[in-house]
Amino acid sequence: MTGGAGATSVELTVRLQRGLRVACSVIVLAILFGLNLPNLVAGRAAYEPEWVGFAGWGVLVVVAAADAVLVARHRSWEWIRLPVAAGVLAVAVEMSVALAPAALGGPPHVTLGSIGWFGVLLLPRGRELVAFLLLHLLLMLGLLVAVGRTDQLTLVAFGISAVGVTSFQLAFAIAGTALRTVARQAGQAAEEEAAARTAEDLAAVVHTDREARYAELRAVALPLLEGMAAGTAPPADPAVQRAAASAAARLRRIFAEERDGRDPLAAELAELIDIAERRGVGVQYSERGERAVPPRAAMRDLLGAAGDALHAARGSARVTLAGVPGAVVLGVVTDGVPAGFAASAPDVGVSAVEAGGTTWVEARWAPRS
């Protein structure tokens, strides 16, 4: 459930970023065709030669179209964004240099107000965008100085135009950053809510399972205790002793269930023990030491060896799950003869020793360093 919440968080962020990219792409294309093209056609005589303006505008259209294709394919510019941004800036400088000095800052100077949007399009990182916008403005200001247009009216008009357009572009970028932050916080809230729901569902499942186990235990233990009290089940009777040992083992595992829920090996081993006990085998179970969680393949071999030994047990078995330095050891002592389980995982070894009608099986997972 938590993984699903994580996917929801990522999906929310991806959708928002895609929406921002679509909006920016639409803005750029609208400016290119709705504002720049009419001004370029009307003021084409201000370019020397005239084709420079249209060629530069065509390059910008190609970049905007390429971005639209990337958006449609759910892809981004990745590392190539910086070279493309540098190329766009070079196109803006080339078109500005080709303009007559009197046309700089006027309607034919189409890149002055539009080139910053390419920065928003290509450079989502704040520092890169600010550097791009500042560099563009400094280059345009340097060009005005180079052609001698340093009168107060021209500089004030340039400043008003630059601040007005750039502030709008920065506002759009800042709004995008704020929305991404909101999306991230919303995703985290969704993850926390899903985790809470998962914990509640898990608690309900554990409670129901425990109630079923306690009911089963009562069905076994109460008649046994009543029999002992009434004298019909003498404690010296081996059958009574086996039944008492089985009930005690089940009770110990119920008390350890909270830990077993975080230990898949112990939880699955408990299932194998339950199966053996349902066949009438008295199983003593113990754990010791801190254990790492084996990978699935190793866990499958450990449980396979234990299951083989428990299946061979005729009346009693002793199971020990231990954590030792650098390994997890699962041992089973049984009064039967196992078929002989062969491990397939490279880090698991299985050994068996038989003596006097008793078989000791050890499965050891020792991960290689």
How does DSSP assign 56-91, residue by residue?
HHHHHHHHHHHHHHHHHTT---GGGHHHHHHHHHHH
- Confirm whether 175 is domain-assigned: yes
Place of tokens 């990337």: 70
The CATH number linked to 281 is 3.30.565.10
Domain boundary among 191, 212, 230: 191
pLDDT band at 247 (very low <50, low <70, confident <90, very high): low
* Residue 294 and residue 184 in one domain: no
Question: Who wins on pLDDT, 125 or 94?
Answer: 94
Q: How many CA atoms lie within 13 A of 63 on its CB side?
A: 30
Tens-digit pLDDT profile for residues 71-85:
888 888 888 989 999
- Confirm whether 295 is domain-assigned: yes
What sign has the CA pseudo-torsion 126, 140, 92, 57?
A: positive
Q: What b-and-e string marks burial along 226-243, b requiring 16 or more CB atoms within 10 Å of the CB?
A: ebeeeeebeeeeeebeeb
Domain boundary among 191, 207, 242: 191
Domain boundary among 191, 214, 237: 191
How many domains, in total, are found in the chain?
2
Distance of CA 353 to the CA centre of its chain: 46
* Residue 34 and residue 113 in one domain: yes
pLDDT band at 4 (very low <50, low <70, confident <90, very high): very low
**Contacts of range 176-179, beta carbons closer than 8 Å, 24 or more positions apart:** 176/20, 176/124, 177/126, 179/16, 179/20
Portion of the chain with pLDDT greater than 90, in percent: 27
* Residue 187 and residue 271 in one domain: no
- Confirm whether 137 is domain-assigned: yes
* Residue 9 and residue 85 in one domain: yes
Question: pTM (2 decimals)?
Answer: 0.50
Q: How many CA atoms lie within 13 A of 40 on its CB side?
A: 24
- Confirm whether 299 is domain-assigned: yes
* Residue 109 and residue 30 in one domain: yes
Instruction: Provide the 8-state DSSP code for 344.
Output: -
Instruction: Kindly give, in sequence order, each residue whose CB lies less than 8 Å from that of residue 259, ignoring residues fewer than 6 positions away.
Output: 266
Cβ atoms 315, 359 nearer than 8 A: no
* Residue 284 and residue 147 in one domain: no
Q: Which amino acid is at 229?
A: A
pLDDT band at 302 (very low <50, low <70, confident <90, very high): very high
* Residue 170 and residue 271 in one domain: no
- Residues linked to residue 351 through DSSP beta bridges, in sequence order: 362
Distance from the first to the final alpha carbon of the chain: 33
* Residue 118 and residue 33 in one domain: yes
Tens-digit pLDDT profile for residues 333-349:
999 888 888 888 889 99
- Confirm whether 160 is domain-assigned: yes
Question: Who wins on pLDDT, 159 or 255?
Answer: 159
pLDDT-wise least confident of 79-88, 164-173, 215-224, 253-262: 253-262
**Helices 111-122 + 126-146 axis angle, to 10:** 160
- Confirm whether 210 is domain-assigned: no
- Confirm whether 302 is domain-assigned: yes
Per-residue pLDDT for 359 more than 60?
yes
Cβ atoms 273, 319 nearer than 8 A: yes
* Residue 182 and residue 109 in one domain: yes
Q: Mean pLDDT throughout 86-91?
A: 94
User: Residue 245: what pLDDT?
Assistant: 64
Q: Give the C-alpha separation, 27 to 118, whole Å.
A: 10
- Residues linked to residue 365 through DSSP beta bridges, in sequence order: 328, 348
- Residues linked to residue 284 through DSSP beta bridges, in sequence order: 318
- Confirm whether 212 is domain-assigned: no
pLDDT band at 233 (very low <50, low <70, confident <90, very high): confident
Per-residue pLDDT for 224 more than 80?
no
3-class DSSP assignment, residue 292: coil
* Residue 130 and residue 28 in one domain: yes
Q: Which domain holds residue 343?
A: 255-365
Q: Mean pLDDT throughout 53-66?
A: 94
